[in-house]
Amino acid sequence: MATASHALGSAFAGFTRTPVAAATAMTSHYQCGSSALMRWHWSQGGRTRRFSSGRSARISMSLRAGIVGLPNVGKSTLFNAIVENGKAQAANFPFCTINPNVGVVAIPDLRLHILSKLSKSQQTVPTSIELVDIAGLVKGASKGEGLGNQFLSNIREVDSILQVVRCFEDDDIVHVNGKVDPKSDIDVINLELIFSDLEQIEKRIDKLKKSKTKDAQVKVKEALMDGKPARSVDLADHEKEAIQHLCLLTMKPVIYVANVTESDLADPDSNPHVKEVAKVASDLQSGIVTISAQVEAELSELPLEERLEYLKSLGVTESGLGNLVAYDDFVAAGSLGAAREKGLLRLEGKDYIVQEGDVMLFRFNV
Ligand SMILES: Nc1ncnc2c1ncn2[C@@H]1O[C@H](COP(=O)(O)OP(=O)(O)OP(=O)(O)O)[C@@H](O)[C@H]1O
Ligand SMILES: [Mg+2]
Q: Which ligand is nearest to the CA of 135?
A: 1
Q: What residue segments make up the domains of the chain, in order of their start?
A: 2-42+58-180+252-318, 321-348+359-366
Task: Compute CA distances 179 → 135, 184, 204, 273, 355, whole Å.
Answer: 20, 10, 38, 12, 44
Q: Which residues contact 183 (CB under 8 A, 6 or more apart)?
A: 276, 280
Alpha carbon of 304 to ligand 1 centroid (Å): 23
Q: Residue 307 pLDDT more than 70?
A: no
* Alpha helices by DSSP H, 226-266: 237-244
Q: Which fold has domain 2-42+58-180+252-318?
A: Rossmann fold (3.40.50)
CA 295/CA 289 separation, integer angstroms? 14
pTM (predicted TM-score): 0.72
Cβ-count burial 274-301 (b if 16+ within 10 Å, e if not):
bebbbebbeebebbbbbbbbbebbeeee
Question: What is the dihedral sign for C-alpha 269, 274, 276, 279?
Answer: negative
Atom 7 in ligand 1: residue holding the nearest Cα: 294
Which range, 284-293, 322-331, 353-362, is most confident? 284-293
CA 317/CA 351 separation, integer angstroms? 11
Check if 298 has its Cβ closer than 6 Å to any atom of ligand 1. Answer: no
Check if 320 has its Cβ closer than 6 Å to any atom of ligand 1. Answer: no
Q: Among 70, 73, 262, which residue has the most ligand 1 atoms within 8 Å of its CB, making it the best to mutate? A: 73
For residue 89, give the ligand 1 atom closest to its CA. 17
Least confident of 166-180, 198-212, 330-344: 330-344
Q: Which ligand is nearest to the CA of 95?
A: 1
Question: What is the dihedral sign for C-alpha 65, 194, 223, 167?
Answer: positive
* Alpha helices by DSSP H, the chain: 2-8, 75-82, 110-118, 148-156, 182-207, 215-225, 237-244, 272-283, 293-298, 304-308, 327-333, 336-341
Within 10 A of 355 (CB to CB), how many other CB atoms are there?
11
- Mean pLDDT computed over 93-117: 81
Comparing 340 with 17, the larger pLDDT belongs to 340
Nearest to 127 by CA among 25, 227, 14, 203: 14
- Mean pLDDT computed over 75-102: 85
DSSP 122-170: SEEEE-EEEEEEPPP--TTGGGT-TTHHHHHHHHHT-SEEEEEEE----
Check if 292 has its Cβ closer than 6 Å to any atom of ligand 1. Answer: yes
Q: Residue 19 pLDDT more than 50?
A: no
Q: Residue 275 pLDDT more than 70?
A: yes
Check if 75 has its Cβ closer than 6 Å to any atom of ligand 1. Answer: yes
Check if 14 has its Cβ closer than 6 Å to any atom of ligand 1. Answer: no
* 167 touches 134 (CB < 8 A): no
Task: Compute CA distances 36 → 32, 77, 287, whole Å.
Answer: 9, 29, 21
Q: Which amino acid is at 253?
A: P
Give the confidence band of 251 by pLDDT, cuts at 50, 70, 90. very high
Instruction: Give residue-wise pLDDT tens across range 23-40.
Output: 555 554 333 322 333 333
The angle, 0 to 180 degrees and rounded to 10, between the axes of the packed helices 148-156 and 182-207 is: 80
CA 310/CA 8 separation, integer angstroms? 8
CA 236/CA 216 separation, integer angstroms? 9
Nearest to 251 by CA among 29, 35, 8, 4: 35
For residue 80, give the ligand 1 atom closest to its CA. 18
Instruction: Give residue-wise pLDDT tens across range 351-363.
Output: 777 777 777 777 6
